[in-house]
Amino acid sequence: MSTSTQTVPTLDTVTPKRGRGWGRDITIGVALLAVVVIGVLWGQHLRGRNRRDQRAEKYVQEKQYDRAIEEYTESIRHDPKSALTFANRASAHFRKGDFDQAIADCDRALDLDPNLAIAYVNRGGAYLNRNDFEKALADSTRAIELNPNLAQAYANRGGAYFKKGDFDRAVADCSQAVKLDPELAVAWFCRAAAHFRKNMLKEAQADYTEAIRCDPGLADAYVNRAVLWLGRGDTKKALHDLNQAIELNPRLAEAFAYRGTLALSLEDGKQAIKDCTRAIHLDPRLASAYWTRAIAHARAGKRDLAAADQKKAIELNPTLGER
C-alpha cells in the first residue's frame, strides 16, 4: 500500500515493552498503522478506447501522473460526456495526492453516469484520505452494490472501518478484497493493520508479508512488519526491514525513528541520535524520535540536550510525561 500514494504510519507510543536485546528504559513506539489507499485505474477491456486513453493509462502505470492528466484532459475536450474518462482522470489526481480534484472529477463522472461504480470507488478512496470516513463508507458501499466484484471497493470500505475503530468489519471487508484479488497489496496491508489492532500479531505479520509480496515497493509495510519483529525481539530481521523501508523511501520519518530506537536498544547511542535527528528533520512533530534521542543524550551525559528533547516529546505527546 503503501502501498503507493502512501499514507505514512504514525507512531503511537505505549507502555514500554522489554524483551530479548532491549535495553533498560527504552520506549518502543507501536505503529498506528494508517491504511494505505490507492486509486483505481479502470481501463481494462473497454470498448472504444482511444489512443489518448491508452497513453494516459501507460503514464499512470509509469507514475507520470501529470502527463496522464494531460492526456485525459485532451480526451475530455474531444468527448466531454465520457463519465469513464472523468473517473480515470480522478484516479490520476488521486495517485498524485490531489484528493479534492479527484473528488471533483468523480462528481462530474457521476453526474454523467450515476451508476458508474468505479467513480464511487475512487471518490470513496479520496474521502478516506481526507478523513471523511462516513462519506468513504457510503461511496464504497454504493460501489459494492453496483458491482460486488470490485476488490478495491471492499479494501476502501475496510480502510474506512479501520479508521473508525471497527476492526472486525475492517478484517471482513479486506478478507473479501483479497479473495476477489489476491494481488491487491493495499487490502493485505489494511487487514494486517486491523489484525494488529485486534492483537492478532501472527496474522498481522503474515498479512504484511503478503502485502510486500504483492508490492515489494511498499515501504510502509516493511516499517510495520519491523515493529512486529521488534516486539518479538528479532532485531536482525527488524533492522533488515527498516533498512529496506529507508532504501525505498528515504523520507519515511518513522523508519528512521524506529531504527534509532533499535540502535539505542543495542547500545549504539551515536546511531540512535543520528537516526532520530534525521526523523525529526523529516517530521518535526514525531514525539517518539525526540523521546528516544533524549534517552540517548542522557546516556551520553548530555543532560541539557536530553532535557530539551524530553520536554519537546512531552509537549507533542503528553502521555509520555506519565511514564
Please indicate whether the domains covering 1-34+182-323 and 41-149 agree at the CATH topology level. Answer: yes
Spell out the domain ranges in the chain: 1-34+182-323, 41-149
Q: The dihedral of CA 151, 154, 160, 166: what is its sign?
A: negative
Which residues, including other chains, have CB under 8 Å from residue 252's CB and lie 6 or more apart?
8, 219, 220, 223, 245, 246, 282
User: Using CA atoms, how far apart are residues 27 and 20, in angstroms rounded to an integer?
Assistant: 14
pLDDT at site 218: 93
Give mean pLDDT, residues 49-75: 89
User: What is the average pLDDT value for the chain, to the nearest integer?
Assistant: 85
pLDDT band at 61 (very low <50, low <70, confident <90, very high): confident
> 315 vs 25, 290, 308, 309, CA distance in Å?
20, 10, 11, 10
pLDDT at site 322: 76
Q: Would you call 12 helix, strand, or coil by DSSP? A: strand
The pLDDT of residue 255 is above 80: yes
Give mean pLDDT, residues 50-64: 87
User: Using CA atoms, how far apart are residues 59 and 52, in angstroms rounded to an integer?
Assistant: 10
Give mean pLDDT, residues 289-314: 96
> 228 vs 165, 225, 299, CA distance in Å?
20, 5, 26
Half-sphere exposure of 82 (CA within 13 A, CB side): 23
Question: What are the pLDDT digits (tens) for 40-56?
Answer: 554 332 333 678 888 88
Give mean pLDDT, residues 65-94: 93
Question: What are the pLDDT digits (tens) for 149-192?
Answer: 999 999 999 999 999 999 999 999 999 999 999 999 999 999 99
User: Using CA atoms, how far apart are residues 170 and 203, in angstroms rounded to an integer?
Assistant: 14
If one looks up domain 41-149 in CATH, what number appears? Answer: 1.25.40.10
pLDDT at site 23: 30
The pLDDT of residue 282 is above 50: yes
Which residues, including other chains, have CB under 8 Å from residue 127's CB and lie 6 or more apart?
99, 103, 133, 135, 136, 139
Q: What are the grid coordinates assigned to 13, written together?
A: 507510543
Backbone phi, psi, residue 317, to 5°: -140, 90
The pTM of the full predicted model, rounded to 2 decimals, is 0.83
Residue recorded with cell 526491514: 241
If one looks up domain 1-34+182-323 in CATH, what number appears? Answer: 1.25.40.10
pLDDT at site 43: 38
**Residue 210: how many CB atoms within 10 A of its CB?**
21
Q: Would you call 31 helix, strand, or coil by DSSP? A: strand
Percent of the chain whose pLDDT exceeds 90:
77
pLDDT band at 39 (very low <50, low <70, confident <90, very high): low
The pLDDT of residue 125 is above 60: yes
pLDDT at site 50: 76
Specify the range with the lowest mean pLDDT, choosing from 14-28, 61-75, 152-166, 205-219: 14-28
